[in-house]
Every structure is written in C-alpha cells, then in structure tokens.
Amino acid sequence: MFNRTNCFLLDTIELDGVEYSINDDFRQETIEIADELDLDEVESAKLFLLAQEDAQELDRSPVVAATIRFHRQRQLLLECFRLALKFSIAEPVESEGIEDIKHALNTFVDLVVDLKADNPSTGSKFWQRCFSSMHDIEVWLQRLADRTQRASVIGHSFSEDASQILDFERITLIRQHESLASICTMLVHGSHTFDQDLTHIFTKAKTFDRQDIILVHHLPILMAAIARAGSSSFGATDVAKDLAKIVLAEKETDQWTLRNFHAAILICWYAEGAGKDAEHEHHHHSKRETEEADRRFERFMKALQDGAFHLLLSVAQDVKRSEWPDPAKTAVIDFLLEDAVRLPADALLPESDFQDLLMDQYQAFADAFITNLPDTLRRLRMEEDEQRRLLRSRFQRAPNEYQSHLERFLVLISFAYDDDEEAADGFWSDPDGNLYGFLQWLAKRQTTPRVAAFCEMLRSICQNSVCANAAYRFLLEEDRSVGIRSLPSLSSMHRALISQAVMRETRLLLTNSSSLRAL
C-alpha cells in the first residue's frame, strides 16, 4: 500500500494546476477508491474527478465508475503494447507500406522496453517487471476471493456497488493477467530475456498448487522458455545446469507441488532436447549411450503415468472450448481424459489471441517431439501395443494397464493445428519431412482406439482444399501399400476422413453416416 499523503487534512486540493474545494463525502469516497485500487490519494482524487462523467454514462455510482475507468485504462495499455509487440515480431508480409508500419511498431516497442543497443539488460528488466506484475495480479485476485469467502462464512451480503466492483475486478484482472502472459511469452521468443530470467519462471512454476486459469496463463511462457533452453547456445552455460536441476527435480528441495504439471513440463523439456549437456554431466556415471537412452525413456514413461498428456490435453480442451461441441470428439476426449482435472464450466474463456498463442506453443512441442524423439515414439507405440495384446489375450482390462498415451498425443495435435491452415500445410508440403513421415508411420497397424484419435488428427490438418486433396492422396497410397484386407480400419478411416475434410460444416450429419459408424 502506498504511503498516505496529508493532502486530505486540508479543505482544498490542487490537481493539474486547478484548485478544488473538497468536502467530507469526496474525501471519504476518494479514500475508498485508494484502498480498493492500492493508489495514492492524490491519484485517487484525479481518477475520481475524471469518473464523474463516466458515472452518468454507465449509470453507476462514481466509486464504481472510477474502478471501471482504472481497470479499462490498464487493460487498454496492455493490449496496445501486446498488439504492437505481436505485429513487430510477426513474419513480414508483402504489402505496400507494411515495412513502414513494421518499422514504426519496432520503434514503439523499443521505446516502451527502453531497449538500448549498448545495454541489452534493459529488455530483461522490462520482462521482469511484466512477470512481477503477473504476481501482483495473482495476489489481488486472491484478496478478492478471500473477501468473498469471508463474507460467505459470516453471512454478510455486499451492497450493489460492492458486488459490481468485485465481479468487474475479478474479470478484468484475469484479462490483464492474460495480456501480461502473452507479452511475457513474446518477449521470451524475442530474446528480450537473459538466461537467468528462465530460472525465475521455473522457480515460480514449482509453487503452483492447483490447475486453474493462472496456471494456464503461465503455460505458454514455460513452453517458450523450454524452447529457448533447447537452443544450442544455452546447453553449455551454468544457468542451464541450474535449470536442469529445477526441471528434473531429483533433489527433495527441487520437488514440484503439482506432480502432473511437473510431468507435463518434463515432457516438453525432453521433446525440445533442453539441457542435454547439463543432464549428461549431472549423470556422469552413465557411460553408454544406450543406458542413457533407457534412463531417459523410463523417466519419460513415468512422466506420462503422472499425467503429462492428461494435463496438456485438458488445458487444450478448456482453452478451445467450443460453443458447438462435436459429440464424436467429445466422446473421444472424455475417454482419454478419464478423471483428469478440468477448469469449471463457467470459467472465463481466454481470448482468441491467447488461444492462438498457446496453440502455437503446442505446435512447436508436437513438431519437436516428432523430430527429436522418434525412438521414444516407437518404443511408446510398441509398449502400448504389447499391453493391448496381453489384455486382449486375457479377455479383460486391468485398471491402469493400458493408458492410451499415444492417442492423447494425437488428439493434442488435433487441437494444436485445428483452424490453422498454414501450419497444417507443414504436414503435407514436404513428403520427405518428419511430419509426413510421422503420418506414414502412424497409419500402419492401427489399433481400434487409435483409429478414432488418428481420424481426429487428420481432420484437423486437412481443413482446406489443398490439404484435403493431400490427405486424399495420402490415404489412397496407404490403402495400396498395405492392402485393404490387411488393414480394414484404414479403409473405414479413409472414407470418413475424406468426407470430413471436404464437408466440415456437415460434421454433425456425418456423425450418423455409415462411414463413421464403420469406425
């Protein structure tokens, strides 16, 4: 709380060169605003004066109008900078005058960040301020929640103004936190942070004790930091060793509060190949490469058992919650998530820009996983297929013996690439690439539950005519290469996917079609 001023001991106050007489009502309401918004009384008085006209327009009390004005100004400033930062780092587009606009935005961002060529630490300081502001908002939200809980316990009811303030503040603070999370993520991508800043991110992540919207907002920052840690220049630094200790959490003091959250971060860490040098040095007793690969795979499988894909998939489902649910997709997700933690149904849905930002991180994770861990994917599939074979031979399913981790990964890809035609084209544009090779490898020897997940993934990456035609050719080639007799599930999948790719808007109708029933 700011130190109290002595200005309200007087009968007049000067604001912006104009002297005002103040009465007890003005003094009391100004102090109320200062307490609510954690402002100095002089700033609160200025805000209160400006809000007088807003009160008439909004048909609210001046105190409520002042609170609304304060938060709207904060949100507007954050969104202006977020959009400027977003377009300043975006890929260049060939258009008349676009270079001048991009140059102006870059200049604006440099001025706000106070970036100096001879002192790059200024960018890091700005990032630290943004990250610290996220914590301040979290404390503020907790204070509002505690106030509501105390009132509920003692049976106290808020006045209409107080209730409006609480509801509005909670919503707008979450939006401000979301904007700051996007800014922090883009600053990490834009190299406006030092390696030491990454340790602050993961030290904070260890303390999360519940899966809520605050955790969701931090997820793209963490994934961007892991991608940064996976760069070739990072692995040999002392900071990389410290960061590897935090992420691997092999000591009691490094344990994370949420096991499934730690598991998800660990999966991303391995996918990006982050901290390999530091990890090898830490485990210098591993003399052979095969032993090291086995150790990493065991740790990888332990992370999957701890709910890594459960958390990532549940976050994707919550963030991209649709007003028009797809019954077929919902059934698949409910089966794969089982008892995973989900956000409340009435939780505030993130804005579309944040959804896109998070799905961009998911795309990077999926690409890195496929590219950097092909042996892990093969071993994962072999183990799951063997588990399924053993279960079928006993004609029963023992609890937790078959976890469908690969299916969760496929549905995760479907969320990441859904409605992003440009990114989806990466699967089809290079037949010799890792992504296309992943499709070819996955299409062979499909099990029954994996067919549904594979169909959902293919539907998400063939949303335009170009990708749909590529998917059509791909499935024709697979039919010819393996034969319909040896793989009947692919024939059914072939018919279903082509219908979905070409006529996406009739998905509900296709749910009842014979081709989908064949699956």
Distance CA 296, CA 275 (A): 13
Distance CA 181, CA 77 (A): 14
Residue located via tokens 């260890």: 206
Residue 20 in 3-state DSSP? strand
CA R_g for the chain: 27
Which pLDDT does position 229 carry in this prediction? 84
For 421, counting Cβ atoms within 10 Å of its Cβ (0-12 exposed, 13-18 middle, 19+ buried), the class is middle
* CA 109-114-119 angle, 5° bins: 125
Distance CA 101, CA 86 (A): 13
Other CB atoms within 10 Å distance of the CB of residue 58: 15
Closest CA to 57 of 46, 69, 43: 69
Other CB atoms within 10 Å distance of the CB of residue 54: 16
Give the model confidence (pLDDT) of 224-271 as tens digits: 999 988 876 665 567 778 888 888 887 777 789 999 999 999 999 999
Which pLDDT does position 50 carry in this prediction? 87
pTM for this predicted structure: 0.86
Other CB atoms within 10 Å distance of the CB of residue 232: 8
Which pLDDT does position 518 carry in this prediction? 42
**Residues with pLDDT less than 50, the chain:** 1-4, 281-286, 398-400, 483-492, 494-495, 498-519
Let me know: does 70 contact 49? Beta carbons within 8 Å.
no
Residue type, 279: E
Residue type, 16: D
Which pLDDT does position 112 carry in this prediction? 87
CB within 8 Å of 438: residues ≥ 6 apart: 370, 377
| Structure token digits, residue 323 | 């007003």
